[in-house]
Structures are given as structure tokens and as C-alpha cells.
Structure 1
Amino acid sequence: MKKNISLLLVFATTFAAMAQNKKTAAVTSKSPQGYVIGNKKVVVYTTANKSDYRISKTETLSFVENRQPFETEPTIFVDPNIRYQTLVGIGGALTDASAETFAKLSKKNQQELLTAYYDKDKGIGYTLARTNIASCDFSSGSYTYVQDNDKDLKTFSVAHDKEFKIPLIKMATAAAGGKLSLYVSPWSPPAWMKDNNSLINGGHLLPEYRQSWANHYVKFIKTYEAMGIPVWGLSVQNEPMAKQRWESCVYTAEEERDFIKNFLGPTLQKSGLSSKKLIAWDHNRDQIFQRATTILNDKDAAKYVWGIGFHWYETWTGSDMQFGNVRQTHEAFPDKALIFTEGCKEKYDVKKVDDWTLGERYGYSMINDFNAGTVAWTDWNILLDENGGPNHVGNFCFAPVHADTKKDKLIYTNAYYYMGHFSKFIRPGARRIATASSRDLLQTTSFLNTDGKLIVVVMNQSDEKIKYSLWIKGQAATTTSLPHSIATLVVE
């Protein structure tokens, strides 16, 4: 009897120890410990309105002990031990319009642009790119890769892309150091595959061509990769709930779910492309939750989907840009990625290229999208001409950089610098960490890079100059946020 009791005590002690170890491991995985301020400094880079600051190194701060800030002290609180999603990348789209405009530049300005976007030391270090499968509104004209009624895709050719788009993609990849995560999106299947027999004005993919259209994605990806352009991912359809006067195709949530489940997903898998990141939705924040629940609650469709893509065009006015929909989608499906796939300021006006709100829109969106769980963020065209094009339907827009092709001149809007405050400093593999601002006038997000550098972005859209402290683990460094500014604080 005593022997049995002893054995029971041994088992109980062992199980208790195992349970404690398991509990400790769980806590550690959720809240990694070990970040030490030590003698770290804070290097501040600033872009501000009514100044010459453009991602300019403006000061270096030191930490001092401050166990409990007073309520009257504006503070950015950061806890590096609470970690969230891992960043995939930040970048912009390499469209026909960008490529055609790029080709009109002198070699000197071409190199300047590539360095400005893709060099992480001399530029803003883009690591992500998107391009269109066949034509979109930002093409000089409509085109497809197959001839009419070629169900077997025997005439498939990307000869159109070889003049402008493919050379730009290759040069951008080289400028990024040989690696650029590229994903591809269709605006419309060929007209003969659709019930309206047109590339434009929406229409639906005809049921009898679903397999041919699924095969078309494979053809495109394998053709590009055979030419030395790796494809990281693809979206099912650009803006599937928009009936546009340019290339467009409508899918209801159920139609997109079933196309993924029965055609596109299995076809990618059978073709050896199951590692490609498949992105559903690829439209606005307003309906992201409905689309995600319809597709991802079906396990046979969800198994093929890497993430949900979204745009910003539904909420240009006001401060409520429906970030809550993004956050709720992340909370409902934490195992799926969220990726911002497109955004720009529409209705180009040359008189507004210096409008400071251009950049503030980017900063506000990026901060809130990242804080809602987004892992990647993609701007629309990296470059447009002096008219906000070319665009074959007159849908002219802003880009972070415009080219005056008549004067061979590059024009940098402040959107370029605002994006750079994220892309230059927050690198792929970085983990978002807990951040809170004690003042709503200071918008903020933070990441911890794989090299140990802690990156804090702080944006001020107000007319006020705000003195505040960056507070980490009882240590604080004090600085001032200029009116209408964005700053990146690098703790190293």
C-alpha cells in the first residue's frame, strides 16, 4: 500500500511538473521575454509638412528611467514582449501604365526610380509587388493572352508583356537585391469566357469555361517563371463585386468559393503550384467579413486559401475607414493572412501633387491596417505620367511618383515618403508588437525586426506640435511630433 502511495505521489509530482512546464511554454510562446533596453538609443527619422524633412535623420534620443508617466504626459507605450503577426512585405504594383511610363524616362531617371523604390539603404526598400494578368484600366488598351474560343489555351502568349512590363519587373527585382515577392491578379477573363461577351462592364465567368480559366492562371505563372520571374502568389479576381467600365468580372461570394474549391485550388495543386499564396476577395474593406466567412467557413475551399486581400476605395471620406471589418476578419480567421492589395488617390489633378493629405491617407491606412492584423501592404501604380496615366478609360489617378515625360523629370509626392517610413525600416519577418498611444492625435504602430531593431512609427495629422515620450519597460525617451508629420523611431 505504501509503495502504491509513493508511486502515486511520484506520478502526481511528475504530472504537476509537466503541466507547469506546458503552462510556462504557452506563456513564453504568447509573450516572449528577454527584450532589454540597456544602453540602446533612439534614432528619429522625420517627414513633415512646411519643412525640408523627408525621411530625414533629425535627432538621436537616450532613455531615462520613468517608471510611471503622469497622465498629463503624452506617451507612446510599447511592449516588445507582446507580439502579433509577422510582416510579409510592403510594395507597389508594376502595371502596364507604370512600365510604359518608365520606358519613356532617360536611363538616368530609370535608375533613380529603381533605387528610390527598391534599394533599402538609398531608397525605401520595397519587397513586394503586384502585376496584372492581361489588361486592366491602367493599360494603354485592352488585350488578352489567348485567341477567341481557344478553350485549350493553345494560342496562349504573353508577347504583349515583353515590351514594357516584363523588363520593368526584372529590373525592379534586380534593384531589390534579386528577390521581390510578386503576386498576380486578373481583371477579366477573355470576353468569350463571360456571359456578357465583353472584357468590360462586369459579367460572369461562364460555367463551361471554369476549368479553362483555372488553367489560364497556371499558364501565366509557369510562363512568367520560365522567363525568370518567380511568382509568389495570385488573387482570384480583382474587385469581384465591381461592374466597371473597364476590365471587370463579377463573382458572388458563393461563386468565388466554388470556383476556388472545385477548379482553381485543385488545378494549382495538380500543376505543382500549391505553394503559391492564393488570395481571395481582393476588393474593399466594406464586404471583407462577409466574403471571408462565406469562403473560409467552407473547409474544402479554405484549405486552398492563404489569405484575404482588400482595397480602400469604399471609404475615402471621413476617419472611419472600416478598419474594424479587417480586425474582425483577422479575429475570426487568425490562421489566414490579411493583405492590403490596392489603394491610391483617384481623380488625378496636377495642381494637387503637393497636397499633404496624399501621404497622410497612406500613413493612417497603414498604421490601422497593420494594427488590425494585416501582414502585407501593396500600393497601386509605382509610377504614372504627368496626366495620371496612361489609362485607356480615363480613370486617371495619383501615384507616389509621377514622371513628366515631356521634361524627363520625376516628381515625388509625399505619399512616397510616408510609405517609406514603413517599408524602409520594417523589414520582412518583423513581428508587430503591442503599442498604445495616450493621445488620439498620435497614431502609432510598432514592429520588432529580425535583427533586433525595434521600429516605432508615429504620425501626427493635427496642426499641433506635440511633445511626447516613447516608453518601454520603465524607460522613456522624449521627443516632439511636428504638425502634419510622420516619424520613424529606430531603437538600436
Structure 2
Amino acid sequence: MKRNLLFLATAVTLLLFSCSKDETLQDIEENIPKGTATINASSTQQYIRGFGGASIRGWIPDLTSYERQKAFDPNNGMGLSVLRVRVSPTPSEWIKEKPTIDAAKQYGASVIATAWSAPAWMKDNNNLVGGKLKSGNYSSFANHLKNFCTEVGGVDAISPWNEPDWECGYESMHNSAYEIASFIRNYGANCGAPVMGPESLNMNESLTTTVVNNAGSNLKYVCGHIYGKTPYYHNWGKEVWMTEHITDNSANSGNDWASAMETATEIHNCMNVGWSMWVHWYLRRSYSLIDENSNVTKRGYVVTQFAKFIRPGSNKISCTANPSSGVYTTAYKKGSKIVVVAINTNSGSVYQGFNLTGATVSGFDRYRTTSSSNLAHDSFNVSGSYYGITLPGNSITTLVSR
């Protein structure tokens, strides 16, 4: 008995020593430490389209050639994999979208387009602000969207309405859920690209469900924004995309580190409820991913921790979402590559264990962003299914298997 107790005490001492030194650990499957994030690479979840931002050229200056490369290049840039653009109600403006669209495509990004309003003459108030698309002009509006797609060389998805449930003083259009569904059901096939919708202000569950249930097969993707909304799970039977948001639920509306950490947690939440895409509002702005001086911001580096390493074609895999207090983890797989993202919202460092099943890896490249570092890189080896690392306080860490 004494010998058994001595053996157990020695094993615990070695475990704690290894943790403090941030070294890899052998897995003792029957005694995995409490608080371990369990990852099952055999349990495949939603397809990942990607992470990105909006370039609304008609309202602010377009991205420069340098900023396009910095935003979308997966090797020498942020690796953003989604670009969102506006369908201007003025057709002569469309061709000006092409340089940024072409650059995003060149780097493998998806391009999605949103119409804030149909041309004024198609609406019941003959105005770009407010009003409704008249049913007698549904065919004309579908043709308008199709012509946009042709002019810019094609997009991956198009949204006929932006925030139809939000009354505002700028370009907008406020048809009901049944009217939106009717347009998509009868004219969605004529819009020049797969249709996404209804893109409500706060992923309104009732409005979205009504559109999904009545739009038929022409609605290819469900999308919406999350202003004032916590991401949630709903099985609409289609990919769900979060196509616009900027942190607005605290004083952290700039590009301080607290704001960046809120963005990290928001992306985690979107992925954890089964959504396939996350898109920030303006891609370039003082509070955005790239600032007005073409520099990647702290928020931009946080998004890079996802976008650069979780490439289109990946799937989320089963992973403990909140393995310990203040720590949030998700995991992804593409082919044999495993990517793990761990967010530590605690002010102090935390030792976090992981137990990976369904895949075998020999080690990881590690990238960490904190308030004082950006994508700091090192690597470590693993032996067996269990490993552990130290997460710095208020940080985001991405592990890429090798």
C-alpha cells in the first residue's frame, strides 16, 4: 500500500512539474485531468466558409492594392477568406467593385454581395431610403442583381435585402418576411448567384424562420447580423452565416485590446453554435481589422488567429467549448490537419490540457496574440493523445498540427 501511494504521489508531482514547464504530457486515459478540453476529430460538425470583412466602396474609399494583399493573402497577410460588398442601386458604379473582388478571389476568398436597396423607381416610395420593393418589380430587381453579378465577374452568394427589419435613415428596404420569401421563391433562381437571406439586424429567429420555411430551394444560405444578439443554435437545414457585426455591447468600441478580446469570444460563440461564417463590418476603419494607415489592428490580429489557419473547406470538430473558467476552445479539421483555437479571458495565465482522439499528430506550431504581441510563434512536440500548454492572460492561441 505504501509503495502504491508513493507511486501515485510521484506521478502527480511529475504531472504538476510538466504543467509548470509548459511541456507535453503522456495521456493516461483513465485519469485525464479535470478541466481538459476534449477534442474528437472523428466527430465532424459544420463546414467552415471563413472569416472576413466588408469593403463598401460607395460609402468609404476602396481598399488599396497593398491593403487587398494584406487582407486576403493567406501566406503573407491576414488570410481573410470572405469579402462582403454592396450592390449599388446605380449600375454605373458596379464596375468599380471589380478590382477588390478580383483580388479577393485571387487569394481564394469567397465574395458575398448585399443590396441595401433596389433602385428607387422599383419601390413603393420612389426613394432609396425605406419603402418596399413593389411586387410588380420583382422580376426587374432580380435582373438588376443578375446584371451586377455579370458586371463584377460573379460572386459566391447574393443577398436581396440588408436588415429589412431595421428602420434607418440610409439606403434600405423593408419588405415583410413573407414578401421576401415570395421574391426568393419565385425569382431567386434569376439573381445571378445563389441567394442568401434574410440578413436581419439581429438574426431575428421568427423572421428568419418564416423566410426559410416559405422561400423554397432558391434560398441557399441563411444569413443575418447579431446587433444586440448572442449567437444561438437553430436548425434551419442550411449553412448559417453571420454577415455583419461590430462589437457594440460595451464601452469597447475602438481597437483597444479589450475590444479585440470581445471579438475573439464572439467568433468562438458563432462557431460553437454551428455557424459557418463570421464577417466584420468595415474591413478597413480605425475600429476595424485594418486601420486608415493600412496597419493590421489588434482586432485584425485576433481575426487572423482564426482566418489564416482555419481555411475554407475545413470543418469544425467536437471540442469542449468552455473547459475551465474563462477559457474557450474550438477545434477544426481539414484533411489530416488539426487546428485548435484557445481563448483565455482571465487576467492571469492558465494551464490548459487537451485530449485529442480520432487523429494522431506529432506536434503543433503555436501562434499567440496578446496585448503586447502579435502572432508570436513557436512549436512543440506531443506524444500520445494528451498534451497541455500555458495560455497567457487575456490572450488567443492557435495550434496548427504538423
Pair in the same fold by TM > 0.5: yes
Equivalent position to 1:341, from 243, 264, 275: 243
Identity rate of aligned residues, in percent?
24
Change in CA separation of 1:489 and 1:203 when aligned onto 2, cut-off 3 Å: same
Equivalent position to 1:216, from 144, 160, 166: 144
How much has 1:345 moved relative to structure 2?
3.9
Change in CA separation of 1:286 and 1:342 when aligned onto 2, cut-off 3 Å: closer
How much has 1:162 moved relative to structure 2?
4.1
Equivalent position to 1:130, from 84, 87, 95: 84
Distance 2:134 2:297 in 1: 43
> CA contact under 8 A between 2:247 and 2:263: conserved in structure 1?
no
Tell me the equivalent position of 2:26. Answer: 64
Equivalent position to 1:233, from 157, 160, 172: 157
How much has 1:257 moved relative to structure 2?
0.9
How much has 1:236 moved relative to structure 2?
2.1
CA-to-partner distance for each residue in 1:191-221, whole Å, 9 max, x for gaps?
A: 2222222212x21112222221121111111
Question: Structure 2, unaligned stretches of length 5 or more?
Answer: 1-20, 358-383
Tell me the equivalent position of 2:179. Answer: 255
Amino acid at match of 1:130: R
Distance 2:125 2:258 in 1: 40
Distance 1:285 1:434 in 2: 27
Distance 2:138 2:253 in 1: 44
Tell me the equivalent position of 2:269. Answer: 368
Distance 2:340 2:202 in 1: 25
How much has 1:258 moved relative to structure 2?
1.1
Change in CA separation of 1:435 and 1:220 when aligned onto 2, cut-off 3 Å: same
Q: How does 1:52-131 map to 2 (within 5 A)?
A: 62-69=24-31, 73-96=34-57, 100=61, 102-103=63-64, 110-111=65-66, 113-131=67-85
Distance 2:73 2:23 in 1: 26
Change in CA separation of 1:204 and 1:453 when aligned onto 2, cut-off 3 Å: same
How much has 1:70 moved relative to structure 2?
5.3
How much has 1:69 moved relative to structure 2?
4.4
Change in CA separation of 1:234 and 1:449 when aligned onto 2, cut-off 3 Å: same
Please report the RMSD computed on the Cα atoms of aligned residues, expressed in angstroms.
2.6
Instruction: Report SS of the residue matched to 1:168.
Output: helix
How much has 1:254 moved relative to structure 2?
0.9
Change in CA separation of 1:461 and 1:482 when aligned onto 2, cut-off 3 Å: same
Normalised by the length of structure 2, the TM-score is: 0.81
Pair 1:173 & 2:105 matched: yes
Instruction: Report SS of the residue matched to 1:302.
Output: helix
Tell me the equivalent position of 2:206. Answer: 290
How much has 1:116 moved relative to structure 2?
2.4
Distance 1:292 1:115 in 2: 35
How much has 1:266 moved relative to structure 2?
4.2
CA-to-partner distance for each residue in 1:3-28, whole Å, 9 max, x for gaps?
A: xxxxxxxxxxxxxxxxxxxxxxxxxx
How much has 1:296 moved relative to structure 2?
2.5
Instruction: Report SS of the residue matched to 1:308.
Output: strand
Question: Structure 1, unaligned stretches of length 5 or more?
Answer: 1-58, 104-109, 135-143, 146-156, 316-320, 389-397, 404-408
> CA contact under 8 A between 1:74 and 1:467: conserved in structure 2?
no
Change in CA separation of 1:453 and 1:98 when aligned onto 2, cut-off 3 Å: farther
Report how many residues are paired: 355
Tell me the equivalent position of 2:327. Answer: 442
> CA contact under 8 A between 1:186 and 1:236: conserved in structure 2?
yes
> CA contact under 8 A between 1:286 and 1:314: conserved in structure 2?
no
How much has 1:361 moved relative to structure 2?
2.3
Distance 1:292 1:234 in 2: 16
Distance 1:286 1:232 in 2: 21
Tell me the equivalent position of 2:362. Answer: none
Tell me the equivalent position of 2:314. Answer: 430
Tell me the equivalent position of 2:290. Answer: 401
Instruction: Report SS of the residue matched to 1:410.
Output: coil
Greater Cα radius of gyration, structure 1 or 2: 1
Equivalent position to 1:186, from 107, 115, 119: 115
How much has 1:114 moved relative to structure 2?
3.0
Instruction: Report SS of the residue matched to 1:401.
Output: coil
How much has 1:75 moved relative to structure 2?
1.6
How much has 1:286 moved relative to structure 2?
4.8
Distance 1:64 1:344 in 2: 42
Tell me the equivalent position of 2:127. Answer: 198
Tell me the equivalent position of 1:485. Answer: 395
Amino acid at match of 1:340: M
Distance 1:61 1:340 in 2: 37
CA-to-partner distance for each residue in 1:318-357, whole Å, 9 max, x for gaps?
A: xxx1x23xx12x2xx23x110111112469x9x9744112
Instruction: Report SS of the residue matched to 1:65.
Output: coil
> CA contact under 8 A between 2:203 and 2:223: conserved in structure 1?
no
Distance 1:292 1:354 in 2: 31
Change in CA separation of 1:354 and 1:309 when aligned onto 2, cut-off 3 Å: closer
Instruction: Report SS of the residue matched to 2:137.
Output: helix
> CA contact under 8 A between 2:178 and 2:210: conserved in structure 1?
yes
Distance 1:426 1:475 in 2: 21
Amino acid at match of 1:65: D
Distance 2:148 2:397 in 1: 41
Equivalent position to 2:195, from 274, 278, 299: 278
Amino acid at match of 1:236: P
Q: How does 1:296-375 map to 2 (within 5 A)?
A: 296-298=212-214, 301-315=215-229, 321=230, 323-324=231-232, 327-328=233-234, 330=235, 333-334=236-237, 336-345=238-247, 353-375=254-276
> CA contact under 8 A between 1:467 and 1:480: conserved in structure 2?
yes
Change in CA separation of 1:172 and 1:86 when aligned onto 2, cut-off 3 Å: closer
Amino acid at match of 2:220: W
